[in-house]
Structures are given as structure tokens and as C-alpha cells.
């Protein structure tokens, strides 16, 4: 009987210690980043990251404000894009990944050579088109029917050793002119029946893929999806 009591006391002590530990951890988690809602979102998939949309937004801020476009652009992470990117890169073989690890690339993933990855991304992210640009200066949906919400996107590949700051610099430089000239308004038809005011949401998703198939090359590849969604409101 005495033994049993001792055992119960021990259990109680363990329980209270455990509770104290949990309390301490949750307090730390709470004050670490002002209770940022993102703190738990990365637990299910450790190789995904958030916050890069805002980082691209910072790089674009001056250009957008200089060209009076800052009010029509929002930069926000998109969970659907993130999942679509994770699934799309499963279509890319290990030998390609190895090649990218050997070279310090930051390039747009070739549309011609990776149709399976792009088709998968297009379907899962609900894209109208897997390309951001038409030529070098305008977004692909410029001139299309203004009443329809349009979403376009593309995928970039970067060697994991290249900082995301540098990667996003390169991506922003590629699209800077399109940001500068993004259409503020559009019409529903050639004769301009209804005018629509446009707003744009830009999302950046990143998935890091370790390259483990070749023991000589220890490295990883960052896949970066950039999507732009245009919505119109009748003026």
C-alpha cells in the first residue's frame, strides 16, 4: 500500500514537471515572434518555407511606388501554390538535380524540357498559363478580358548554396519592367464596354530538395514558384 502511494506521488511529480515543461515551451513559442501564425505551419513539411512573397514585395516596393503601382499590388504566400510546387517537382529526375547542384544556377525552369512538371503545377495551382511574361515587358494576361480573374505562374531553379536574397534579386530583375507597366485598368471587349480596375497578388513559394542520389555531391536545390493573380472590379 505504501509502495502504491509512493508510485502515485512519483506519477504526480512527473505530470507536474511535464506540465511545467509544456507551459515553458508554449510561452517561449508565444513570445518568440509575437504569436506569428506561421510558427506552426512548417511542422508538417520541414522543407517548405514562407515569407518569401513579402521579401519579393520589399524588393519591388520602390519600383512600384515610383510608377504609382504600389496600391494595386499585394504580396502574399499561397498554400495552394506551395503544395502544387511540392507535387510538381516530383516529376523531375535525380540526374537533373545533380547537374543543377554541380552548377550554381539560378534560372527559370525550361518550359520545353519540363512539361510534366509544369502541367502538374498548372493543374494544381489553377493557372491559366505557365508563364509570367509575354515578351520581356508585359504580363501574359495584359489585354485579356478584364472581367475574368487570371492567374499565371512559373518555376525557377536555384542551387541551394545561393542565398534566397540573391535569388529573389534575380527574379525581381527579370520581371521589373512588367511590375512598372502593369495595367491599372482594362475593358471587357475590344469596344471597351465596361472598364475594370485591376489588383494583383504576387505569391512566392519555395521548396528545398536535398540531392542525395550522388554521394560526391552533397547539396540541395531550391525550387521557387512565382505566381501573379489579377482580379478586376467594375469601375
Domain residue spans in the chain?
1-40, 47-234
Give pLDDT tens digits for 148-196. Answer: 888 999 999 999 999 999 999 999 999 998 899 898 988 876 665 788 8
Query: What does the mean pLDDT of the chain come to?
Result: 81
Three-class DSSP category at 231:
strand
The predicted structure's pLDDT at residue 31: 46
DSSP string, 132-187: SEETTTEETTTTS-TTS-EEEEEEEEEETTS-HHHHHHHHHHHHHHHHHH--SEEE
C-alpha distances in angstroms, 112 versus 9, 21, 28, 109, 118? 69, 54, 48, 9, 10
Local confidence band at 37 (pLDDT 50, 70, 90 cut-offs):
very low
Compute the distance between CA of residue 18 and CA of residue 49 in angstroms, rounded to an integer: 30
Under 8 Å between Cβ of 168 and 107: no
Please, which residues have CB within 8 angstroms of residue 146's CB and are 6 or more apart in sequence? 185, 186, 187, 188, 194, 195, 196, 198, 232
State the pLDDT confidence band at 66, using cuts at 50, 70 and 90.
very high
Q: Tell me: pLDDT of 83 over 90.
A: yes
Cα 207 from Cα 49, distance rounded (Å): 7
The pTM assigned to this predicted structure is 0.75
∠ CA 160-206-83 to the nearest 5 degrees?
135
Confidence of residue 3 (pLDDT cuts 50, 70, 90): low
* pLDDT at 193 (0 to 100): 76
Four-residue CA torsion sign, 115, 117, 120, 122: negative
Q: Please report how many Cα atoms fall inside a 13 Å half-sphere around the Cα of residue 44, on the Cβ side.
A: 6
Question: Which tens digit of pLDDT belongs to each residue from 8-27?
Answer: 777 677 666 666 655 555 44
The residue with cell 534579386 is: 169
Beta pairing, strands 73-75 & 195-211: parallel
Amino acid at each position: 500500500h505504501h509502495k502504491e502511494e509512493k508510485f502515485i506521488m512519483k506519477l504526480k511529480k512527473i505530470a507536474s514537471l511535464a506540465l511545467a515543461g509544456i507551459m515553458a515551451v508554449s510561452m517561449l513559442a508565444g513570445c518568440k515572434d509575437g504569436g506569428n501564425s506561421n510558427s506552426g505551419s512548417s511542422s508538417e513539411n520541414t522543407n517548405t518555407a514562407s515569407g518569401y512573397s513579402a521579401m519579393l514585395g520589399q524588393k519591388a516596393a520602390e519600383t512600384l511606388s515610383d510608377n504609382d503601382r504600389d496600391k494595386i499590388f499585394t504580396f502574399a504566400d499561397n498554400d495552394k501554390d506551395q503544395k502544387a510546387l511540392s507535387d510538381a517537382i516530383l516529376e523531375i529526375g535525380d540526374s537533373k538535380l545533380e547537374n543543377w547542384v554541380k552548377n550554381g544556377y539560378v534560372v527559370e525552369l525550361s518550359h520545353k524540357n519540363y512539361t510534366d512538371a509544369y502541367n502538374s503545377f498548372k493543374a494544381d495551382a489553377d493557372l491559366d498559363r505557365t508563364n509570367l511574361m509575354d515578351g520581356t515587358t508585359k504580363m501574359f494576361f495584359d489585354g485579356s478580358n478584364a472581367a475574368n480573374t487570371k492567374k499565371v505562374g512559373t518555376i525557377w531553379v536555384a542551387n541551394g548554396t545561393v542565398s534566397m536574397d540573391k535569388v529573389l534579386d534575380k527574379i525581381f530583375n527579370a520581371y521589373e519592367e512588367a511590375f512598372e507597366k502593369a495595367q491599372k485598368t482594362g475593358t471587357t471587349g475590344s469596344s471597351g464596354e465596361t472598364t475594370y480596375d485591376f489588383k494583383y497578388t504576387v505569391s512566392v513559394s519555395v521548396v528545398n530538395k536535398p540531392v542525395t542520389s550522388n554521394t560526391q555531391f552533397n547539396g540541395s536545390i531550391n525550387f521557387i514558384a512565382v505566381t501573379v493573380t489579377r482580379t478586376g472590379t467594375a469601375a
